[in-house]
Amino acid sequence: MRALVYEAPYRVRVREKPDPAIEHPDDVVLRVTRAAICGSDLHLFHGLVPDTRVGTTFGHEFTGVVEETGPGVRSLRRGDRVVVPFNVSCGTCFYCRRGVTADCESSNPSNELACGVYGYSHTTGGYDGGQAEYVRVPFADFGPMKIPDDLEDDDVLLLSDVLPTGYQGAEMGGIQEGDTVAVFGCGAVGLAAARSAWLLGAGRVVAIDRVEARLRMAERWAGAETVDLRTEGDPVAALKDRTRGRGPDVCIDAVGLEASGSAFQTLVGRKLKLAAGSAIALSWAIHAVRKDGTVSIVGVYGPPANLVPIGVAMNKGLTLRMAQASVKRYMPHLLELVRAGRLDPRGLVTHRMPLEHAPKAYALFDRKEDGCVKCVLLPHG
């Protein structure tokens, strides 16, 4: 089959690779119909995630058609259309039974921190991803959700990751009716968090970024006010100014370890790698949020040391919530919101390309050029 493979930092290629096969009775193999590129793929693309091996196929946001089923699979048949959560989860372990599928103990048992994730590094199990013609999906009776006949793949593709992640980000904010919610980062995750904040009762939503097209999309798609980092300078002061000096009730970090905006954090965390990336967006969130407020983190951070102002958070009495999203838990609810027209995932997709053009898509998305927010690859045309 044709598949995107990682070769080196800033270098991916599409080449021939053996077709995936059933390796376990509970597996299915999908013919991939759509595979999106995520901000999390950029951390891999930049070579920032340990144990990202040459030849790995990225891609954890995909839909597909069941091509082959293992002998143990009961709920899926050849020809079924499915959308797959980015977490590989078993459905039966301690955490999966509690709905915390992002902490599944079975899909990456040698790692205490992370469950299996499709198309990520070997620290998350080494599962090949969906930016390919075919992909193997383990625990197939639990993870994949059948796509209802009245919906198209494009309607549900982003239920694999960014909609649930943004929604969980807003939910972890514990938003009360009328709250002011600030969202750092206007990528697909931040935009989904901003839109979800309204759905959860926010009275005001402010989105922060420095990329023109994304700020406009925050206004248009998510109905947010915006703080433009290119012109407003200090976002903490800008947010305080807009909230009578007190700060937003809730701040959501939808940026993560590659945040720009602090020479010091960039030097220590991204260049010298003495900390696991730059935590400047999170730092701003902690400084900006009002006392007794909540900071919700869905931007990804590496596990070793991070420069986070924990003393500020402690003295302000903040609630900090954070997680890799437990995608499966949110799929049914978000599917209904999509169906009801209250969430429009198609509106986030700015680019569509054949799989063969994936290297170009990565470059475009990485540089945030041409208004690129979400790029969808089409492995079968």
Chain positions contacting ligand NAD, by CB under 6 A: 38-40, 42-43, 161, 165, 184-190, 208-211, 214, 254-256, 259-261, 280-281, 298-300, 324-325
Q: Rule CB under 5 A: choose which of 33, 40, 265, 326 binds Zn ion.
A: 40
Task: For ligand NAD, give the closer residue by CB, 255 or 355.
Answer: 255
Q: Does 44 bind Zn ion (CB under 5 A)?
A: no
Biggest alpha carbon distance in the chain? 62
Tell me how far, at minimum, the Cβ of 376 lies from ligand NAD, in Å. Answer: 13
Handedness of CA 172, 342, 147, 121 (dihedral sign): negative
- What phi and psi values does residue 147 have, to the nearest 5 degrees? -90, 120
Q: Give start and end residues of each alpha helix (H) in the chain.
A: 39-45, 94-97, 153-156, 162-172, 188-199, 212-220, 229-232, 235-241, 263-265, 280-288, 310-316, 327-339, 358-366
When asked if residue 161 is in the footprint of Zn ion (CB under 5 A), the reply is yes
Minimum Å distance from CB 102 to ligand NAD? 7
Helix (H, G, I), strand (E, B) or coil at 228: strand
Query: Which tokens sit at 377?
Result: 């690859």
For every residue of 300-330, DSSP letters joined together read ---SS-----HHHHHHHT-EEEE----HHHH
Nearer to Zn ion, 128 or 249 (CB): 128
Rounded-to-integer distance, Cα 340 and Cα 333, Å:
11
Our finding on whether 229 is near Zn ion (CB under 5 A) is no
318's CB contacts (< 8 A; 6+ apart) are 286, 289, 291, 292, 293, 294, 295
Which partner in Zn ion, ligand NAD, none is near 208 (CB below 5 to 8 A by kind)? ligand NAD
202 binds, among Zn ion, ligand NAD, none (CB under 5 to 8 A by kind): none
Distance CA 6, CA 262 (A): 29
Cα–Cα dist 57/369, whole Å: 24
106 touches, from Zn ion, ligand NAD, none (C-beta below 5 to 8 Å by class): Zn ion
| Closest CB 147 distance from ligand NAD, rounded Å | 21
CB of 278 to ligand NAD, least distance (A): 8
Query: Which of Zn ion, ligand NAD, none does residue 380 bind (CB under 5 to 8 Å by kind)?
Result: none
Stretches 21-29, 97-105, 211-219, 356-364: which one binds Zn ion (CB under 5 A)?
97-105
Task: Return d(Cα 297, Cα 259) in angstroms, integer.
Answer: 13
- Give 138 or 299: the residue with its C-beta nearer to ligand NAD: 299
Taking CB under 5 A as the rule, does residue 38 contact Zn ion? yes
Q: How far is CA 53 from CA 38, 44, 78, 141, 277, in A?
A: 18, 10, 31, 29, 20
Residue 108 in contact with Zn ion, rule: CB under 5 A: no
Compare residues 188 and 207 and give the one whose CB is closer to Zn ion: 188
Between 82 and 206, whose beta carbon lies closer to ligand NAD? 206
Q: What's the closest the beta carbon of residue 162 comes to ligand NAD, in angstroms? A: 6
Query: 274: Cβ–Cβ under 8 A, 6 or more apart, which residues?
Result: 268, 305
First to last CA, the chain: 14
CA distance 78 to 243: 55
Among 29, 93, 268, 300, binds Zn ion (CB under 5 A): 93
- Rounded to a whole number of angstroms, the minimum distance from the CB of residue 9 to ligand NAD is 16
Nearer CB in complex with Zn ion: 155/249: 155
Which residues of the chain form contacts with Zn ion (CB under 5 A)?
A: 38, 40, 89-90, 93, 96, 104, 106, 161
